[in-house]
Structure 1
Amino acid sequence: MGISILLADDHALIALGIKKILETMPDYEMVGHMQNGREVILYLEKENQVDVLVLDLNMPVMDGMQLLSYLNRNYPDLKKMVLSAHHTQSTMEICRNLGVNGFVGKDACFEAFQEAIEVIADGGEYFQPLSINKNIQNGHRNCLYQKLRVEYSLSDRETEIIQLILNQIETKQIAKNLNLSPLTVKTHRKNIFRKLKVHNVAGLLGLIKEHPGL
């Protein structure tokens, strides 16, 4: 068998389209189609071989963001490519922080999808650039952390810490990186979550996903 591709997307038409594309690529094979993140985990726990996981962000039961957080901790070497309609700079940045190797919008052409799969399977990264119009429209405002700082009145230190949190850095390591005590970092985390009106990192990721314009 060639390079194995596992798809996680709850839309049957998308799955059929991906399968048809892969049939035109002799060295690639779609080995499974999962409907949600929980099914992906069950598939991987059975020690099934997967070279590249292609996943959507919006799925029932366990969505893409939740799945990526789990995979980043438990399957860090698995190559992952997001295929999503939410093609924004902030969404791509969050996915990159969660260990994704590539990101392609669902409005991409077949050639872009094929190129992304090939690059990622070969160990590289492929993040589809935003269109020129989107870049002009958004400009530097697409900086996720700057937008969070302005939108929620975060301090420079809180903005720095939230960036480390989104990079999956633990409290002790954050404290070491910033030359702070763990207690001080915990206080900052508490204040950040209070300002953003979330309770944990999952809530923070959900906030960003619900507001892709951040």
Structure 2
Amino acid sequence: MGVSILLADDHALIALGIRKILESMPDYELVGHMQNGREVILYLEKENQVDVLVLDLNMPIMDGMQLLSYLNRKYPELKTMVLSGHHTKSTMEICRNLGANGFVGKDACFKAFQEAIEVISEGGEYFQPVTTEKNIQNGQRNCLYQKLRLEYSLSDRETEIIQLILNQIETKQIAEKLNLSPLTIKTHRKNIFNKLKVHNLAGLLGLIKEHPGL
């Protein structure tokens, strides 16, 4: 057997489409189709061999982001690719921070999906760019960070720092990038977490996952 692929998506049509694509790739095999994150965990706990997990974000019982967080802790060697209809820069950023090796929109062409599977299975990363100008330039109103800024009364500087935090940039590097002292960044970070009522990066990721803008 070549590269084993496990799919986690609660849509039968998507699973059928993925199966058809993989049939055209001789070195890849779909070994299972799970309906939710909990089924994936049960499958892995039986020591079934999986090289790449392709998962949706919106699933019942245990969604994709919850699953990514769990897998990053328990099965860090498992390669994961998100296949989602919500293809935005902020969503990809969050998935990357949760340990995903790649992200492809459900509106992607077959070639993009195939390329992503090949790159990820070989140990690389593949995050499909958001190419539509509408998604990039749809105004500050449709930007996740701006929604957070408005809802939680964040300053522009605090909003900027949130983006850097989510990119996993350390305090020292943030300070250098913004020409501020590390102490000032630590103060901003504390104020941001207080406003958002979270204690750390995990709490921030959880808040964004539950945010209506996602």
Query: What SS does the corresponding residue of 1:40 show, helix, strand or coil?
Result: helix
Task: Tell me the equivalent position of 2:132.
Answer: 132
**1:87 is aligned with what amino acid?**
H
Q: Does 1:16 align with 2:19?
A: no
Deviation at 1:122, TM superposition (A): 1.1
- Whether 2:190 is the aligned partner of 1:192: answer no
Residues 89 and 202 (structure 1), Cα distance of their counterparts in 2 relative to 1, 3 Å cut: closer
Q: 1:168 to 1:69 in 2, by over 3 A?
A: farther
1:87 aligns to what SS in structure 2?
A: coil
Does 2:25 correspond to 1:25? yes
TM-score (norm 2): 0.77
Q: Which amino acid aligns with 1:60?
A: P
Instruction: Identify the residue that residue 121 of structure 2 maps to in structure 1.
Output: 121
Q: List runs of 5+ in structure 1 lacking aligned partners.
A: none
Instruction: Supply the distance in 1 between the matched residues of 2:139 and 2:192 (Cα, whole angstroms).
Output: 29
CA contact (8 A) 1:65 1:205 kept: no
Decide whether aligned partners of structure 1 residues 69 and 185 sit closer, same or farther in structure 2, where only a CA change above 3 A counts.
farther
Q: Is the 8 A contact 2:140 2:146 kept in 1?
A: no
Matches within 5 A, 1:107-186: 107-138=107-138, 145=145, 148-154=148-154, 156=157, 160=161, 164=165, 166=166
| Greater relative contact order structure (CA < 8 Å, 6+ sep) | 1
In structure 1, C-alpha distance between the alignment counterparts of 2:10 and 2:136, rounded to whole Å: 33
Say which is worse superposed, 27-36 or 155-164, in terms of deviation. 155-164
- Cα distance in 2 for partners of 1:162, 1:87 equals 18
Quick one: distance in 2 between partners of 1:206 and 1:41?
Answer: 20
Give the C-alpha shift of residue 144 in structure 1. Answer: 5.0
Task: State the shift of 1:206 in Å.
Answer: 2.7
Following superposition, the deviation at residue 99 of structure 1 comes to 1.0
Write the letter of the residue equivalent to 1:72: N
Which aligned pairs between 1:93-112 and structure 2 lie closer than 5 A?
93-112=93-112
Preserved contact between residue 8 and residue 34 of structure 2 (Cα < 8 Å)? yes
SS at match of 1:61: coil
What is the SS of the residue equivalent to 2:137?
A: helix
**Residue deviations 1:24-65, cap 9 Å, x none?**
000000111000000111111112111110000000000011
| Residue 45 (1) aligns with residue 68 (2) | no
Partner Cα separation in structure 2 for residue 101 and residue 140 of structure 1: 28
- The alpha-carbon deviation at position 152 of structure 1 amounts to 2.1
Among the aligned pairs, what percent are the same residue?
Answer: 73
Distance in 2 between residues matched to 1:153 and 1:66, nearest whole Å: 27
Q: Would the alpha carbon gap of residues 114 and 139 (structure 1) be closer, same or farther in structure 2, given more than 3 Å must change?
A: farther
Cα distance change of structure 1 residues 37 and 163 upon mapping to structure 2, 3 Å threshold: farther
2:210 to 182, 196, 207: 207
TM-score (norm. length: structure 1): 0.77
Per the TM alignment, residue 133 of structure 1 is displaced from its structure 2 partner at its CA by 2.7
**Alignment-derived partner of residue 3 in structure 2:** 3
- Preserved contact between residue 72 and residue 99 of structure 2 (Cα < 8 Å): yes
The amino acid of 1:207's aligned partner reads: E
Q: How many residues align?
A: 201
8 Å CA contact 1:6–1:31 kept in 2: the answer is: yes
